[in-house]
């Protein structure tokens, strides 16, 4: 999606995708420097025209040790907007994930909890019913079919045990869902799936 802006940390590692409006604010506030601009685009005001940012870099190093916020959007992103039981990845005609076709499943169901906690069969860990490690993305059909059972009880193997995502996981998903612009390619790690994604786009 051209008009999205890749934000780099001061050491030039990618950290986030921004809207161009947010990037313009950061540029005006001198919190970031422009690294590259989209060639055939400009941001116009009444009196001036500015390069349209594609990649910007923070002037001061930011530490991203904070945890990823636990919410529906981030759970879906961690799971690549894919049902963790049947693998279905519902999409809109634009290619964007169809969020309304996805639900959040409690892997060990609430019905099997005691005092709001469950024991995860795969790790033996006791956790809150609703937490990163006990929720997974499911399509409506799988969620209905699984009902108040664990994957084992329902004979519905889960593709990946849920985990607490890193900031990196979530950034990866944000980037993955964009049509990665060529202006970003120099800043995506050599061995990352982003690179693969970008190369595949080129070939197709």
The Cβ of residue 85 has, within 10 Å, a number of other Cβ atoms equal to 22
For Cα atoms 92, 93, 98, give the angle at the middle one, nearest 5 degrees: 0
- Residue closer to Zn ion by CB (options 16, 146) is 146
139 close to 102: Cβ distance less than 8 angstroms: yes
Shortest Å, Cβ 132 to Zn ion = 20
Closest by CA position to 81, among listed 97, 100, 103: 97
The Cβ of residue 82 has, within 10 Å, a number of other Cβ atoms equal to 20
Helix axes 193-203, 167-176, angle to 10 degrees: 10
Shortest Å, Cβ 88 to Zn ion = 5
Shortest Å, Cβ 82 to Zn ion = 9
Shortest Å, Cβ 134 to Zn ion = 18
The site that binds Zn ion (CB under 5 A) totals a number of residues, namely: 6
DSSP helix/strand/coil, 98: coil
Q: What is the DSSP letter of 110?
A: G
90 close to 139: Cβ distance less than 8 angstroms: yes
- Residue closer to Zn ion by CB (options 2, 98) is 98
Shortest Å, Cβ 180 to Zn ion = 27
- Residue closer to Zn ion by CB (options 153, 167) is 153
What x/- string results for residues 76 through 115 when contact with Zn ion is judged by CB under 5 A?
-------x-xx-x---------------------------
Q: Find the binding residues for Zn ion in span 135-174 (CB under 5 A).
A: 139, 142
DSSP helix/strand/coil, 196: helix
Shortest Å, Cβ 103 to Zn ion = 9
Q: Find the binding residues for Zn ion in span 1-60 (CB under 5 A).
A: none
- Residue closer to Zn ion by CB (options 79, 183) is 79
- Residue closer to Zn ion by CB (options 55, 139) is 139
d(CA 140, CA 7): 35
Bridge partners for 139 per DSSP? 102
- Residue closer to Zn ion by CB (options 104, 119) is 104
Binding residues for Zn ion (CB under 5 A) = 83, 85-86, 88, 139, 142
């Amino acid at each position: 999606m051209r008009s999205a802006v890749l934000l780099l940390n001061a050491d030039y590692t990618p950290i986030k995708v921004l809207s161009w409006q947010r990037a313009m604010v950061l540029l005006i506030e001198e919190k970031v420097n422009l690294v590259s601009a989209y060639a055939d685009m400009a941001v116009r005001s009444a009196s001036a025209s500015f390069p349209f940012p594609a990649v910007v870099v923070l002037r001061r190093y930011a530490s991203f040790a904070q945890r990823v916020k636990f919410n529906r959007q981030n759970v879906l992103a961690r799971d690549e907007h894919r049902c963790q039981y049947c693998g279905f990845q519902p999409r809109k005609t634009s290619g964007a994930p169809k969020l309304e076709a996805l639900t959040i499943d409690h892997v060990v169901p609430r019905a099997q909890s005691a005092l709001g906690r469950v024991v995860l069969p795969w790790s033996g860990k006791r956790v809150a019913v609703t937490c990163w490690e006990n929720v997974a993305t499911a399509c409506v059909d799988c969620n209905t079919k699984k009902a108040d059972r664990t994957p084992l009880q329902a004979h519905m193997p889960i593709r990946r045990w849920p985990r607490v995502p890193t900031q990196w996981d979530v950034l990866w998903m944000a980037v993955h869902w964009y049509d990665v612009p060529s202006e970003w390619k120099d800043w995506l790690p050599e061995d990352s799936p982003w690179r693969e994604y970008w190369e595949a786009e080129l070939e197709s």
